Structures are given as C-alpha cells and as structure tokens.
Amino acid sequence: MTTPTLTMYSTQWCGYCHRLKSQLDREGIAYEVVDIERVPDAAFVVEQVNGGNQTVPTLVYSDGSAQTNPSVAEVKAKLASLN
C-alpha cells in the first residue's frame, strides 16, 4: 500500500464520510482518517478550511489544499493534479 497523499477528517456517525470512504476503497485510493471528535486539534483544522464550521468529510491533500464533501471523481482529479 502506498503512503496516503490525503487525509480525511471525519466522524464515526457521518453518513457522507462512510459513503466517501467506501468509494475511495473501491477505487484503491489510500487515505488517512482523522476523527475530529477523538483527535485533539483536528476539529480546528476542519474549521479553518470551512469558515468556522465542523463540516465533514473534509479532505486535506499533500499540497495543503482541501475539499469539503467532494465526489470521488473530484478526489481522483485532485490526486491526478498532484502527480
């Protein structure tokens, strides 16, 4: 498995997060999951890119950019632009 180039900020109860995780898994896209309710300061990261809101899933890429609740196609396009 390759090193993840993206981090998904999530919660255990988020349906959109579960759906995106399943789609990324099917596509073979590696990612790290950070639960904003369990990891200190993770919620702050999410708030910084979402205008103060704790909106998940928020994905942060290796270049520091972020997407909130993206489609798997948007994730694939972003990852392709990083290579």
> 30-81 pLDDT, tens per residue?
999 999 999 989 999 999 999 999 999 999 999 999 999 999 999 999 999 9
On whether residue 1 sits in a domain, the answer given is: no
The whole-number pLDDT of residue 3 equals 57
| Other CB atoms within 10 A of residue 50 CB | 16
């994730």: which residue's tokens?
75
Residues in the chain, overall count:
83
Determine the structural domain holding residue 40 and report its residue range: 6-82
């950070």: which residue's tokens?
34
The whole-number pLDDT of residue 83 equals 77
- Look up residue 72 and give its amino acid: V
Q: Which pair of tokens denotes residue 83?
A: 């290579």
Q: Which pair of tokens denotes residue 42?
A: 């993770």
Q: Which pair of tokens denotes residue 76?
A: 């694939």
- pTM: predicted TM-score of the whole model, two decimal places: 0.91
The whole-number pLDDT of residue 1 equals 42
* Domain total in the chain: 1
On whether residue 54 sits in a domain, the answer given is: yes
